[in-house]
Amino acid sequence: MGHPTASRMLRPMQVSNTRARSDIQRPAGLFARVDARELLFRGLVTAVAIGLVLLVALMIYELAHEALPAIRKFGVGFLWSTDWNPPKERFGALPFIAGTLVTSLLALAFATAIGVGAAVFLVEFAPGWLRVPLSYTIELLAAIPSVVYGLWGVFVLGPWIQHTAGPFLLRYFAWVPFVDGPALGVGILAAVLILTIMILPTIVAISREVIAAVPRSQREGILALGATRWEMIRIAVLPYARSGVLGAAILGLARAIGETLAVALVIGNSTAIPHSIFSPAYTMASVIANQFREVENDMHRAALIYIGLLLLLITLLVNAIARALVWRVTRGQSTTVIE
């Protein structure tokens, strides 16, 4: 889903300049008059902008309202109950919360390790002729629709896990906790791999920006002290870029948590708590995608909307933290990440 850094290219170089002076008022003199149309125009665009804030509030209210029957009946216990039984109208969200946490945190770990490495490569190692085409290709990865990742997951990644990766892991790594058969193809591992691929562009793009923003003098200083290139990166570059990279990771996490169809196609759809990396499971978003159209009763629908409300609140929180971190590093510039 999306284009991580269109904004970087869209970003004006001289923004801060323009901004600083952009409020110069028209001279108010003898011929100035109160222009009703000026007030009208300003009021109109302001109203629309405030409307966006109200929209987010309305979303929270509306989901809470529709989830009310489930909230009344199950309360906070909904969060840790594992019982998901639509015909008997008993609902608990723990299997989905667990599935979401496990898949998105694992994907985040993989994607951060690879993504920050790739960002360092792009900024510090890649020769000039490679830098632009490589960044460009990574950004295109973000433009491929979620459902296409899912299709690829079903027909390519799933069978590969079932026939190649799964048996290999079970044979040589069965002693590792949570590596436990059978490898069905669909399940936690497939979802983790798909999510890793999908959030990589976000993490690479933002990390690259914050790493590139580390002042040159910082690098030169430590090189002059005799550091190797890796020591320079470890001591002078990464600590400086830390909070921005953290913001990038959290933004990636938000994407992974909200990702729906690609995951819905490969996670295997099971309401049991996953016990192995090959277990079929469900995430909060994918259970909504798969069950909402065929709800068995009103309580089932309210419970799914309850999950949707939790998902909304979690992603709002995670996004707010991430934006705040990235904003602090980039000083308010270049924060639109078109996802």
Partner 1 sequence: MIAISAADRRRRSIIDTIATGLIVAAGIGVIVPLFAILIFIFFKGLPALSLDLFTQNPGPTGVPGGGVKNAIVGSLVLLLLAMAMGLPLAIAAGIYLAEYGRSRLGFAIRFVVDVLAGIPSITIGIFVYTVIVLPMGRFSAFAGGVALALIMLPIVARVTEEMLLLVPQITREAAYALGVPKWRTIITVVVPGAASGIITGIVLAAARVAGEAAPLLFTALGNNFYSRDVLRPIDALPLRIFTYATGPFDYQHEQAWASAFVLVMLVLALSVLARAAIQRRAR
By CB under 8 A, the residues from 88 to 107 that bind partner 1 are: none
Determine the distance from the C-alpha atom of residue 97 to the mean position of all C-alpha atoms in its chain, rounded to a whole number: 16
Alpha helices by DSSP H, listed for the chain, are: 6-10, 15-21, 36-74, 94-120, 128-141, 146-152, 158-160, 166-172, 188-212, 216-224, 229-231, 238-258, 261-266, 284-291, 298-330
Q: Does 109 bind partner 1 (CB under 8 A)?
A: no
What is the nearest approach in angstroms of partner 1 to the Cβ of residue 244? 15
d(CA 287, CA 87): 16
Site string for partner 1, 251-270 (x = CB under 8 A): x--xx-xxxxx---x-----
Return the DSSP state at 278: T
- Residue 183 or 337: the one with the smaller Cβ distance to partner 1 is 337
Number of residues engaging partner 1 in binding (CB under 8 A) = 116
- Residue 98 or 337: the one with the smaller Cβ distance to partner 1 is 337
Interacting stretch for partner 1, rule CB under 8 A, among 79-87, 176-184, 213-221, 284-292? 284-292
| Candidate list 4, 95, 99, 115; residue touching partner 1; CB under 8 A | 115
Q: Does 155 bind partner 1 (CB under 8 A)?
A: yes
Which residues in 156-190 are b (16+ Cβ under 10 Å) and which e?
Answer: ebbeebbeebbeebbeeeeeeeebeeebbbbbbbb
Site string for partner 1, 54-93 (x = CB under 8 A): -xx-xx--xx-xx---------------------------
Interacting stretch for partner 1, rule CB under 8 A, among 74-82, 117-125, 162-170, 178-186? 117-125
Q: Does 151 bind partner 1 (CB under 8 A)?
A: yes
d(CA 300, CA 18): 53
d(CA 156, CA 270): 21
What is the nearest approach in angstroms of partner 1 to the Cβ of residue 103? 14
| Residue 141 CB burial class (10 angstroms; 0-12, 13-18, ≥19) | middle
Tell me how far CA of residue 337 lies from CA of 8, 105, 209, 244, 257, in angstroms.
Answer: 9, 21, 12, 14, 17
Q: Among residue numbers 123 through 142, which ones bind partner 1 (CB under 8 A)?
A: 124-126, 134, 136-141
- Residue 148 or 176: the one with the smaller Cβ distance to partner 1 is 148
Radius of gyration of the chain from Cα atoms? 24
What is the nearest approach in angstroms of partner 1 to the Cβ of residue 121? 3
d(CA 289, CA 217): 51
- Residue 140 or 174: the one with the smaller Cβ distance to partner 1 is 140
Site string for partner 1, 18-47 (x = CB under 8 A): xx-xxxx-xx---x---x-xx-xxx-xxx-
- Residue 197 or 236: the one with the smaller Cβ distance to partner 1 is 197
| Candidate list 101, 105, 154, 235; residue touching partner 1; CB under 8 A | 154
Site string for partner 1, 210-239 (x = CB under 8 A): ----------------x-xxxx-xx-----
